[in-house]
């Protein structure tokens, strides 16, 4: 288990505190539901308590990369201690199943159509200069800094962060005191960090460089060096379980006999689905099965270090007597699939395995082992964190809702969300992929067995209805077919049958109107469910 002085750059990154801005400008195969928390009555009146001089609560957000729920990702995949450290379970969803737009939604509390990050590329607005001047300048850390929070970031930020075209490593987003951000996409070794605006190179030594452990060790140093007079916020974003799935040496022999689950929609044909789901080879060739099983095992292995990270942080907070006043959120940017509908590995699809995410939270006064059924979106994290800090939410422009009122029945004055939006903009290549020349141009994420996981016209928007009366999903594609998929999630939880031709046309019209409304909503209008 990693500790305060062990491995991965334990002593580095302790530069003097600074506020964000540009320094150059002077500034297992078991199933489990996703998870959440219940906040105590006293903290729901935080603004009153803070005004009276009571201590503000500390907050930690652990954001992993590509961790699923539907395929057992929160049971056997190295998160046993993390689950034991949590208190509440809840249905968590990402509003878009891809890293950069999802992380942008977490930071801003906005749907992708409002923060305008469409994919993982600079041309898709990922960490672009336009993003930095607009939505990033209104992200929730900016508000926390104004609430006197000490703020710390370590790990993956956005996929294009630190590129020269995106402002280079000198760019520190507003609101952060301590900044240890990975340049580019997830890596475990051989990467560059922006450490308070300066490039820091890392190699392939486990003791010095393994990124998950480095994140832990620098967070422990932050906890030791911070001011005891002010609350703190930490955002820790380890690379696991994203590819290349590099496990710590002590975990590389774990789960060697584990296979990806073969039930549900595994290796099922994409009948009556969008064309991208109809093109995979079926049944899957043995080469694809071997590949996805290896990925599945290595994902589990990489998460064992994340489990150590959470466990060590909790023990550290307990030893300093800060645990009772600290909220810890654990979630992922999106889900993941390994063989569902004969798709080898990836995310980007509208189905539950890609849009469901883990959501665990513990904090003061939270009763353990309880499940809350109302859905929470990743755009709800920002307003909830600000609500805990005492920010007046009427002063922020966010599409998400604080879920404090939902979690305290005695103060239930919020509106339970009966339906919500999932949206995604597909990515493709302008020329044909060498692995899949028969599909022509416009596809991407292709595998040697000629299965492509994405395309320009894999662009869709969905209404997910999830309440006591309806458990449904309605999706429209922006393609030449105007293709529609509809699923009854109560009778068909694995989304095997598209029932668009079986439902009443009036239902389709109602869902279409809801979708149009959600796709144009901004701020409070995203909470209007009439």
Active site residues: 99
The residue ranges of DSSP E strands in 145-276, in sequence order, are: 150-156, 178-182, 192-195, 198-201, 232-237
Residue 402: CA count within 13 A, CB half-sphere: 24
Angle, CA 346 vertex, CA 377 and CA 487 arms, to 5°: 55
Angle, CA 329 vertex, CA 245 and CA 318 arms, to 5°: 100
What is the greatest pairwise CA distance in the chain?
69
The C-alpha atoms of residue 38 and residue 210 are separated, in whole angstroms, by 34
The C-alpha atoms of residue 259 and residue 335 are separated, in whole angstroms, by 18
Angle, CA 229 vertex, CA 225 and CA 232 arms, to 5°: 65
Question: Minimal CA–CA distance to 495: which of 454, 464, 459, 451?
Answer: 464
Under DSSP, the state recorded for 313 is: H
The C-alpha atoms of residue 110 and residue 115 are separated, in whole angstroms, by 6
The C-alpha atoms of residue 109 and residue 114 are separated, in whole angstroms, by 10
Q: Starting at the edge strand that comes first in sequence, how are the strands of the sheet with 419-424 ordered?
A: 419-424, 460-466, 471-477, 484-488
For residues 299 and 241, the answer to whether their CB atoms sit within 8 Å is yes
The C-alpha atoms of residue 47 and residue 53 are separated, in whole angstroms, by 10
For residues 489 and 351, the answer to whether their CB atoms sit within 8 Å is no
Residue 52: other Cβ atoms inside 10 A? 8
């Amino acid at each position: 288990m990693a500790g305060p002085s062990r491995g991965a750059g334990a002593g580095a990154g302790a530069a003097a505190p600074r506020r964000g801005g540009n320094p150059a400008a002077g500034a297992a195969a078991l199933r489990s539901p996703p998870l959440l928390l219940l906040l105590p009555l006293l903290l729901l009146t935080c603004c009153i308590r803070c005004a009276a001089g009571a201590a503000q609560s500390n907050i930690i957000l652990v954001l992993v990369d590509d961790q699923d729920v539907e395929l057992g990702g929160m049971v056997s995949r190295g998160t046993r201690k993390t689950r034991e450290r949590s208190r509440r379970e809840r249905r968590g969803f990402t509003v878009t199943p891809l890293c950069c737009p999802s992380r942008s939604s977490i930071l801003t509390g906005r749907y992708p159509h409002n923060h305008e990050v469409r994919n993982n590329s600079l041309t898709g607005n990922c960490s672009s200069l336009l993003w930095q001047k607009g939505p990033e300048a209104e992200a929730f850390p900016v508000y926390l800094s104004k609430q006197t929070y000490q703020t710390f970031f370590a790990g993956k930020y956005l996929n294009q962060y630190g590129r020269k075209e995106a402002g280079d490593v000198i760019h520190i987003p507003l609101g952060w005191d301590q900044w240890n951000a990975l340049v580019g996409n997830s890596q475990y070794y051989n990467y560059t960090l922006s450490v308070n605006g300066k490039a820091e190179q890392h190699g392939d030594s486990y003791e010095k460089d393994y990124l998950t452990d480095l994140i832990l060790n620098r967070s422990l140093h932050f906890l030791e060096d911070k001011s005891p007079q002010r609350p703190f916020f930490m955002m820790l974003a380890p690379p696991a379980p994203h590819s290349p799935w590099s496990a710590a040496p002590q975990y590389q022999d774990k789960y060697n006999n584990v296979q990806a689950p073969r039930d549900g929609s595994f290796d099922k044909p994409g009948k009556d689905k969008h064309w991208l789901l109809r093109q995979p080879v079926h049944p899957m060739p043995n080469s694809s099965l071997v590949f996805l099983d290896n990925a599945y095992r290595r994902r589990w292995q990489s998460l064992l270090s994340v489990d150590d990270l959470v466990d060590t942080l909790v023990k550290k907070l307990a030893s300093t007597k800060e645990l009772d006043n600290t909220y810890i959120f654990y979630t992922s940017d999106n889900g993941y699939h390994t063989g569902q509908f004969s798709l080898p590995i990836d995310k980007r699809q509208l189905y539950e395995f890609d849009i469901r995410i883990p959501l665990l939270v513990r904090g003061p006064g939270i009763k353990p082992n309880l499940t809350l059924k109302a859905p929470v979106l990743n755009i709800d994290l920002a307003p909830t964190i600000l609500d805990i800090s005492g920010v007046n939410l009427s002063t922020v422009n966010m599409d998400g809702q604080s879920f404090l009122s939902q979690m305290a029945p005695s103060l239930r004055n919020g509106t339970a969300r009966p339906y919500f939006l999932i949206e995604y903009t597909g990515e493709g290549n302008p020329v044909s992929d060498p692995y899949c020349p028969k599909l022509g141009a416009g596809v991407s994420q292709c595998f040697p067995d000629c299965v492509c996981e994405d395309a320009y016209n894999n662009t869709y928007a969905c209404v997910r209805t999830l309440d006591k009366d309806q458990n449904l999903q309605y999706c429209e594609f922006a393609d030449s077919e105007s293709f529609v998929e509809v699923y009854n999630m109560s009778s068909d939880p694995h989304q095997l049958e598209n029932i668009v031709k079986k439902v009443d046309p009036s239902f389709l019209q109602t869902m279409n109107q809801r979708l149009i409304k959600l796709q144009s909503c901004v701020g409070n209008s995203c909470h209007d469910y009439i």
